[in-house]
Amino acid sequence: MQISQAPSLRVHETGKPFADQSGQRLRQWYGVDTGMFYDKRVFYITSIAHCYPGKTGKGADRRPPLGCARLWLEKEMEIVQNEIFIIIGSVAARYFFPQSDFTELVFAQGLMLRDKPAIVLPHPSPTNWRWLTAHPEFESGRLPQIREIIADIVSRMHNIGS
């Protein structure tokens, strides 16, 4: 189960999550192609808010209303039978781990959420270059570990579906 902040305007208009540059980067990070990424047997994609929250006066996307998460996301998390949580971006991470440092969460080993393994990723948006530049060890060290975890799950999901 992937949980991000909120859909972008493009995603809101198309109804297809991560159908933008963020999605391209995320698929690259995972080491999966587009077909695999959108295979609902493998990746369940959701977010804190289920609608585009609009822009701030400064042009950035608004933060998602937490009422959406309390109303919809919490129910999804009860229903969906997932093996792992992939938390995408600092806003989503703050929702689940409000007292934790974001960067520490990204590099945390053995992180758990609702008694299941969890991975926290920086947001794959092209506008997140500052965090990625400040933490080159993410791509050189942590990302290979994440790819291995995802490859293992994808392999098992395909064996179940065969």
In this prediction the pTM is 0.88
- Summarize pLDDT for 80-102 with one digit per residue, the tens: 999 999 999 998 999 999 999 99
Residue labelled with tokens 């065969």: 162
Residue 121 has pLDDT above 90, yes or no: yes
> pLDDT value at position 58?
73
Residue 52 backbone dihedrals phi, psi, to 5 degrees: -65, 125
Provide long-range contacts, Cβ within 8 A and 24+ apart, for 22-27.
22/123, 22/124, 22/125, 22/126, 23/124, 25/124, 25/125, 25/126, 26/88, 26/121, 26/124
- Summarize pLDDT for 45-71 with one digit per residue, the tens: 998 877 666 666 776 666 766 776 677
Contacts of 5 (CB under 8 A, 6+ apart): 47, 48, 49, 61, 63, 64, 88, 89, 91, 92, 123
2-161 is a CATH 3.40.470.10 domain:
yes
Q: Tell me which of 12-16, 34-38, 103-107, 112-116 is least confident.
A: 12-16
Sorted by where each begins, the domain ranges of the chain are: 2-161
Helix residue ranges, H only, the chain? 9-14, 21-30, 34-37, 66-68, 74-79, 90-96, 102-107, 129-134, 137, 143-161
- Summarize pLDDT for 24-52 with one digit per residue, the tens: 999 999 999 999 999 988 899 998 877 66
d(CA 43, CA 154): 9
For the chain, the average pLDDT equals 87
